[in-house]
Amino acid sequence: MGQIRERMEADLKLKGFARTTRKEYLLRARHFVEYYRRSPEQLGEEEVRKFLLHLVEERGVRAATHRMYIAALRFLFVVTLKRPEVVAAIPWPKVPRTLPDILSGKEVQKLLSAVRSLKHRALLMTAYGAGLRITEACTLEVGDIDSKRMMIHVREGKRGKDRYVMLSPKLLEALRLHWRGSHLQGRYLFPGAFPGAPITASAVSLVLRKAVAVAGLTKRVTFHSLRHGFATHLLEAGEDIRTIQRLLGHSSIQTTAIYTTVSKAHIARTRSPLDMLGTSAAKVFG
């Protein structure tokens, strides 16, 4: 894409998109250009439609991936190329709302115990103990850990928002063990293979896949499963859903409310209307 790629990357930065989102948008736009081997300035609505149909019918991409391609192409044509008419009539696909697999407390313990590296175990403990996204955990800096106030400063989360989360005493102990064992010198709490850079999401995902295999877990486990477990287990422990919303950094309570549908304890505490029939509580039914 050459100059157009540079312009698109600059536009994404000026709009305040997160680094991972910028990377995804640029990758999807590149796929589009490579499919036609022509400049996007020479392509229009018909080419966009044919490309998206190719993704769905021939490559069988999921609805969520399909939406990512549309979002990237919308940005490319609307913002960078100033040609909004190209994508104005492109429909958004419906994304099925599936419920995540939730690890039990014992399963989380088995997973963490399967990781030998102090650094990697501390990172996964941070994800579960503080409910962090993978990029938030990878890019934590040493100065983000406030042991006096027992808080973690999460910087530039989704949509560039900062937030504070609790620092578990057990997590603080694990981080100190990691600190002493790794002899940290740079700014990042979990440094990567290259000097001055944090550990990559792909490296962490590989560590997690190996740990899942060693632990013998049969559920579908991703890094985000630890964040799901954090929220669900807090809900089951009786924590207020508004507090969980703030800890997760969700803009809408509706996003957080999904955990009420997967929490066994929350569902079990809900009284069936059948049990209320014939009691004073049933008066509200009429």
Catalytic residue among 158, 187, 210, 266: 158
In a domain, 124, yes or no: yes
Catalytic residue among 7, 49, 210, 250: 250
Q: Is 224 a catalytic residue?
A: yes
In a domain, 97, yes or no: no
In a domain, 285, yes or no: no
CATH no. for residue 212? 1.10.443.10
**Mean pLDDT on 64-84:** 96
Catalytic residue among 119, 227, 228, 233: 227
Q: Is 250 a catalytic residue?
A: yes
**pLDDT tens per residue, range 224-244:** 999 999 999 988 888 888 999
Q: What pLDDT, on the 0 to 100 scale, is given for residue 267?
A: 63
**pLDDT tens per residue, range 188-209:** 999 998 888 999 999 999 999 9
Q: Does residue 131 contact residue 248 with C-beta atoms inside 8 Å? A: yes
Model confidence band, residue 274 (pLDDT cutoffs 50, 70, 90): low
Q: What pLDDT, on the 0 to 100 scale, is given for residue 112?
A: 95
Q: What pLDDT, on the 0 to 100 scale, is given for residue 259?
A: 81
Alpha-carbon span 81 to 61, nearest angstrom: 26
Same domain as 136, residue 204: yes
Q: Taking Cα atoms as reference points, which of 90, 58, 56, 57 lies closest to residue 72?
A: 90
Q: Helix, strand, coil: what percent of the chain each, to 5?
A: 60, 5, 35
In a domain, 23, yes or no: yes
Mean pLDDT computed over every residue of the chain = 89
In a domain, 273, yes or no: no
Q: Is 97 a catalytic residue?
A: no
CATH no. for residue 55? 1.10.150.130
Q: Is 119 a catalytic residue?
A: no
Statement: residue 172 has pLDDT above 60: yes
Stated pTM of the model:
0.73
Catalytic residue among 28, 66, 120, 133: 133
**pLDDT tens per residue, range 22-41:** 999 999 999 999 999 999 99
Overall domain count for the chain: 2
Same domain as 257, residue 198: yes
Catalytic residue among 224, 246, 264, 269: 224
Q: What pLDDT, on the 0 to 100 scale, is given for residue 198?
A: 94
**The pair of three-digit structure tokens given for residue 262, joined into one six-digit string:** 């997967």
Same domain as 150, residue 63: no
In a domain, 284, yes or no: no
Residue recorded with tokens 């996003």? 255
In a domain, 98, yes or no: no
Q: Is 36 a catalytic residue?
A: no
Amino acid identity at 117 = S
DSSP assignment letter at 266? H
Same domain as 33, residue 116: no
Q: Is 133 a catalytic residue?
A: yes
Domain that holds residue 70: 3-86
CA 156, 160, 162, 166 dihedral sign is negative
**Mean pLDDT on 160-166:** 86
Residue 50: strand, helix, or coil: helix
If you count them, how many residues does the chain have?
A: 286
In a domain, 282, yes or no: no
Q: Domain ends where: 86, 119, 134?
A: 86
**pLDDT tens per residue, range 109-153:** 999 999 999 999 999 999 999 999 999 999 999 999 999 999 999
